[in-house]
Amino acid sequence: MAGERTSLTAYRQHESMGAAEDLDFALELLKRARSGELGPSLRLYRPKPTVAFGQRDANLPGFGAAELACSDLGFQPLVRKAGGRAAAYHQGSLVIDHVEPHPDAIVRAKARFSEFGELLAGALRSVGVHAAVGEIPGEYCPGEFSVHGEDPDFPAHRIKLIGTAQRVVSGGWLFSSVIVVENSKPIREVLTASYAALGLDWDPATAGAANDLLAHLDVKTVEDAVIEAYRGYADVLDGDFRSLMA
């Protein structure tokens, strides 16, 4: 990737603070980075069941019904700061928040989507998933730089595995990624209900998890692969998440 090689501290958060609290803490880390209090950092955690709606979703007439559908299925509905459409995740997913201070954070903002998408796709390939960057027809929360996986037995069947979002502010940036690793059924169910309430079209067959393609995969294996993939981007140091809470 472009630029000088940096050091990156990886913080593994072993327990969720709560759906809303986890989202808010990502913004807190961005605030610390832009103020110079926090250097380049990764935060990795397994989230509570959440449906993160985009700002446009919240303005649709069916949003209230979508919120209720999420709650009925055990997912907390939230509206995120970033754009895009509704995305769902739970304890079978891995969230990666990457924050860095930068004097001109808007520079290369779009390039980050491509570069970190490829980095994460590479992490999945390293554990055996046929992963690539690119939107697939009918996917939820569609994005040019989504990461999808192919069924090795049926290559035409592709499922979205990773969604990414970015927030850029004066003095820093936050790049967030969600990898769905295990237990895809509840995610398909809540997205089907949510998108129906919002009146949005999508193909439920595009929603899945990495272990739909490779049954032995679990979140810990993918988390370790992501950390290893980031070593190609930076010198990765182990951090103590508790130090961020002090």
What tens-digit pLDDT sequence spans the chain (246 residues)? 555 678 999 999 999 999 999 999 999 999 999 999 999 999 999 999 999 999 999 999 999 999 999 999 999 999 987 778 999 999 999 999 999 999 999 999 999 999 999 999 999 999 999 999 999 999 999 999 999 999 988 888 899 999 999 999 999 999 999 999 999 999 999 999 999 999 999 999 999 999 999 999 999 999 999 999 999 999 999 999 999 997
Interval 50-88: pLDDT, tens:
999 999 999 999 999 999 999 999 999 999 877 789 999
Pairing of strands 234-239, 6-13: parallel
- What's the burial of 45, exposed, middle or buried (CB within 10 Å: 0-12/13-18/19+)? buried
Distance CA 149, CA 158 (A): 6
Residue 44: predicted pLDDT: 98
Strand partners, 168: 173
Residue 246: predicted pLDDT: 76
Domain boundaries, the chain: 7-232
Pairing of strands 172-180, 93-101: antiparallel
Tell whether pTM > 0.85. yes
Residue 3: predicted pLDDT: 55
Q: Which residues of 168-187 are buried (b: 16+ CB within 10 A; e: fewer)?
A: beebbbbbbbbbbbbebebb
Q: Please tell me the number of Cα atoms within 13 Å of 162 on its side-chain side.
A: 35
Distance CA 45, CA 226 (A): 12
88 and 116 Cβ atoms separated by less than 8 Å: no
Q: Which CATH architecture has domain 7-232?
A: 2-Layer Sandwich (3.30)
Residue 1: predicted pLDDT: 54
Distance CA 94, CA 85 (A): 19
Distance CA 175, CA 52 (A): 15
Residue 152: predicted pLDDT: 84
